[in-house]
Amino acid sequence: MFPFALTIHQPHANEIFAGTKTEELRQWRPVPYIAWGVFGKPLLPPFALLIHAGSRKRAHQGAKGPYSCYLGVALFDTITHAPGGNYAWHIAQTYSFKRPVPGTGNPSLWRPPLPVRVCPSG
């Protein structure tokens, strides 16, 4: 069961599962964005997140779909400081779904619908 998801725009979502993108840069660490009351402890590495491909098409970058769907699960093992005040979330391993699972996304970390959390089989 994967309680949280992260939306990443294309082509970056595809690059994660192709193994060409090994870090996700964010301006925030995941700890402040997790409600302490949910599990009683912060989300610290290592942790797994469902990866959702955003719906925004970026044709000017040559981004190919799929869009607005779950692509798989990424295991993040460390978070380090990156230039510009960002945080680099290091992706240790990924697990692609056999086919994308349609669904809407949200900004930041968010809770996907229960059927996706329990059985992301697509």
Tens digits of residue pLDDT in 92-113: 999 999 999 998 888 888 888 8
What's the number of CA atoms in the CB half-sphere (13 Å) around residue 89?
A: 22
pLDDT at 73: 93
Q: Are 67 and 54 in contact (CB under 8 A)?
A: yes
The size of the chain, in residues, is 122
pTM confidence score: 0.81
Mean pLDDT of 22-35: 73
**Is the pLDDT assigned to residue 5 strictly greater than 70?**
yes
**Is the pLDDT assigned to residue 37 strictly greater than 50?**
no
- Cis peptide leading into residue 11 (ω within 30°): yes
